């Protein structure tokens, strides 16, 4: 597998979560491309500082506001 940049990887026993963090969704797909290119079946999440009420996911990757994520 080629190396990709991911901001955080959380691990619990046999679970893995890849997390990408961004201030706002960019015009390009850079923030999600690295997550999409990971070909295993572990969970992926994009966390943003800006609130996007109409964006629930991009390319199947959930998008959450940081405040919503911290309160979840």
Spans in the chain with pLDDT lower than 70: 1-2
Residue 50 neighbours by CB distance under 10 Å:
11
Sheet containing strand 8-12, strands side by side: 8-12, 15-22, 43-48, 61-65, 57-58
Contact residues for 30 (Cβ-Cβ < 8 A; gap 6+): none
Query: Which pLDDT tens digit goes with each residue over 21-41?
Result: 999 887 777 778 888 888 888
DSSP per residue, 46-61: EEESS--TT--EETTE
User: Cβ(47)–Cβ(20) under 8 Å?
Assistant: yes
């Amino acid at each position: 597998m080629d190396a990709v940049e991911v901001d955080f990887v959380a691990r619990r026993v046999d679970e893995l979560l890849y997390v990408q963090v961004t201030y706002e969704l960019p015009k390009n797909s850079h923030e999600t491309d690295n997550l999409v290119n990971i070909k295993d079946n572990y969970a992926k999440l994009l966390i943003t500082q800006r609130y996007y009420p109409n964006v629930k996911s991009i390319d199947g990757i959930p998008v959450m506001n940081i405040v919503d994520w911290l309160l979840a």
